[in-house]
Amino acid sequence: MIGTAKAAKGQITRGHVELGSYPDGPVLSPVLIAEGERDGPTLWLQACLHGPEVVGPLSIQRFLKTVDLKQLSGRVVCLMLANPLGFRGYNRLTPQDGYNLNRVFPGDPQGHLTYQLAHRLLDLSLAHSDAMLDLHSGGDLTITCHYTLFHNNGTPEGIEAERLGRACGAPNVWNSLEEGLSGCHFTHYTKSGGKPALIVESGGGARVTPEDLDNLTAAIFNVCQARGMLPGEPMVPARFRLGGDAIHHKATHGGLFIPKVGPGDDVVKGQHLADIVDLFGDVVEAVHCPVEKAWVGSIRRPYMPIYNGDQVFELVGTKGYDPA
């Protein structure tokens, strides 16, 4: 039982779960439980931790329409909106207090609204599951390449998180132990909860492509297979590109953003990554790669206006390939 959703063998059941409160009533997220006919572990599957990242719920819907419950061992708990406030505001941040939910874990039951939400989500997910898959994309303002992100700190749960990352189907595998991601849900699920968790990202830019839907839907099936919840072996790339620490490059000038590289491209120090032009058509800033070797984790949505200070590139330090 999660909120009003009651699991039933061989069925997909639905309901709502309370995550906080509005001034006039509860903050609710739709939740579905896909309960297999066989016993097994529980996967916590969630989407829209950042409001506009709708590749997530659409991929979960596809998974639920195609999964064979006769073959499923255990259950998949599907939290459709990890941040219902951000979803309603179509905002990466919680509109009521301006916080990025995925930077404030483990949260605080006495803190700001977003901190209370983080505390509730961590409690709920750890109480009801053995592993977590957190679906993301670039939402409206950025476009990410297809990558997975997890916290492998060398513990059994960290090692399992990396194993799932390598099984999810993403060609880009990023073990991030950096301070900037210490407030993420997946980090705390693994570090304080002692259970494996991973993020999978694909797409964004205020649109959803068939490829993004394929990528995130495949990630759900692949993680279920890797956890022994569905028969078969995950389809994985022959070679992984590995990621290390990332930098989040911000524009110093506002204008129109004209990228020269796309999500997933390899870049090297000094490479011309983008121009920012003013309304006269003059280049007011040329963005060059500030790090030795990286791959483009995400770019700002092309051609749209930006303010100075807006993030234009996520550059993930290249740690080579596996196999080399």
Q: List residues near Zn ion by CB under 5 A.
A: 50, 53, 136
Between 46 and 318, name the residue whose CB sits nearer to Zn ion: 46
Tokens 């206006």 label which residue? 305
* Pairing, β 293-300 against β 311-322: antiparallel
Between 216 and 230, name the residue whose CB sits nearer to Zn ion: 216
Residue 264: left (phi > 0), alpha (psi -120 to 50), or beta?
Answer: left
Between 16 and 136, name the residue whose CB sits nearer to Zn ion: 136
CB of 39 to Zn ion, least distance (A): 33
Query: What span, in angstroms and rounded, lies between the C-alpha atoms of 42 and 73?
Result: 9
CB of 292 to Zn ion, least distance (A): 27
Q: HSE on the CB side for 299, CA within 13 Å?
A: 23
Between 50 and 146, name the residue whose CB sits nearer to Zn ion: 50
Beta bridge partners of 274: 259, 287
What's the Cα-to-Cα distance from 165 to each of 70, 117, 153, 265, 280, rounded to whole Å?
26, 26, 14, 20, 46
Between 136 and 185, name the residue whose CB sits nearer to Zn ion: 136
CB of 245 to Zn ion, least distance (A): 19
* Pairing, β 73-79 against β 25-35: antiparallel
Between 75 and 300, name the residue whose CB sits nearer to Zn ion: 300
Query: Burial level of 85, CB count in 10 A (0-12/13-18/19+)?
Result: buried
CB of 180 to Zn ion, least distance (A): 14
Query: What span, in angstroms and rounded, lies between the C-alpha atoms of 313 and 150?
Result: 20
Between 136 and 191, name the residue whose CB sits nearer to Zn ion: 136
What's the Cα-to-Cα distance from 264 to each of 135, 151, 257, 269, 315, rounded to whole Å?
18, 21, 18, 16, 10
CB of 49 to Zn ion, least distance (A): 6
Task: Tell me how crowded residue 242 is: count the other CB atoms within 10 A of its CB.
Answer: 16
CB of 165 to Zn ion, least distance (A): 16
CB of 200 to Zn ion, least distance (A): 11
Between 201 and 285, name the residue whose CB sits nearer to Zn ion: 201
Query: Burial level of 225, CB count in 10 A (0-12/13-18/19+)?
Result: middle
CB of 100 to Zn ion, least distance (A): 9
Between 50 and 241, name the residue whose CB sits nearer to Zn ion: 50
Q: Which of 201, 306, 197, 287 is nearest to 247 (CA)?
A: 287
CB of 50 to Zn ion, least distance (A): 4
